[in-house]
């Protein structure tokens, strides 16, 4: 299993962080590698909702549809890819920490399926760097 786990502490209450993250309009604001994010069906926090996402990872453009498969309002959501070249699950968890919120990103995939010319470990390292930068961007936007 390939896994990327990164977290950041945001100096805002959990509910405020949740509201920012659950708004589809913010995804392209804080995610530098996401060029498109569009709800296809359902409300943003409705179980079963689907969204179309276009990302660039290690120079490769990837399109997929994801589905919200698990949610604990204000605390956690999990999406699974439905048609991605690189199948994945993404779980975002929010927990109280001090006077702020710890936001944890956990993305897992069985394999990169030979989509990238670079080796899995190099792609994971590059993508982890993107995830880290995106979490820092979210922190800056929410705290700003």
What is the C-alpha separation between 115 and 112, in angstroms, rounded? 6
CATH number at residue 36: 3.30.530.20
Q: How many domains does the chain have?
A: 1
In sequence order, which residues have a C-beta less than 8 Å from that of residue 120 and are 6 or more positions away? 2, 111, 112
**Which structural domain, as residue segments, surrounds residue 22?**
2-143
In sequence order, which residues have a C-beta less than 8 Å from that of residue 31 and are 6 or more positions away? 37, 55, 134, 137
pTM, rounded to two decimals: 0.90
Convert the pLDDT of each residue in 46-77 to its tens digit: 999 999 999 998 888 999 999 999 999 999 99
Convert the pLDDT of each residue in 7-16 to its tens digit: 999 999 999 9
What is the C-alpha separation between 138 and 135, in angstroms, rounded? 5
What is the C-alpha separation between 103 and 144, in angstroms, rounded? 16
């Amino acid at each position: 299993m390939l896994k990327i786990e990164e977290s950041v502490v945001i100096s805002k209450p959990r509910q405020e962080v949740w509201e920012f993250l659950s708004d589809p309009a913010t995804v392209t604001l804080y995610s530098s590698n996401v060029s498109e994010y569009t709800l296809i069906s359902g409300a943003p926090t409705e179980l079963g909702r689907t969204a179309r996402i276009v990302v660039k990872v290690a120079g490769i453009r990837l399109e997929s549809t994801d589905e919200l498969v698990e949610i604990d309002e204000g605390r956690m959501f999990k999406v699974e890819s439905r048609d991605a070249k690189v199948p994945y699950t993404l779980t975002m968890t929010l927990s109280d920490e001090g006077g702020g919120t710890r936001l944890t990103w956990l993305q897992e995939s069985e394999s990169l399926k030979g989509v990238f010319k670079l080796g899995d470990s190099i792609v994971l390292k590059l993508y982890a760097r993107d995830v880290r930068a995106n979490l820092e961007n979210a922190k800056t936007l929410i705290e700003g």
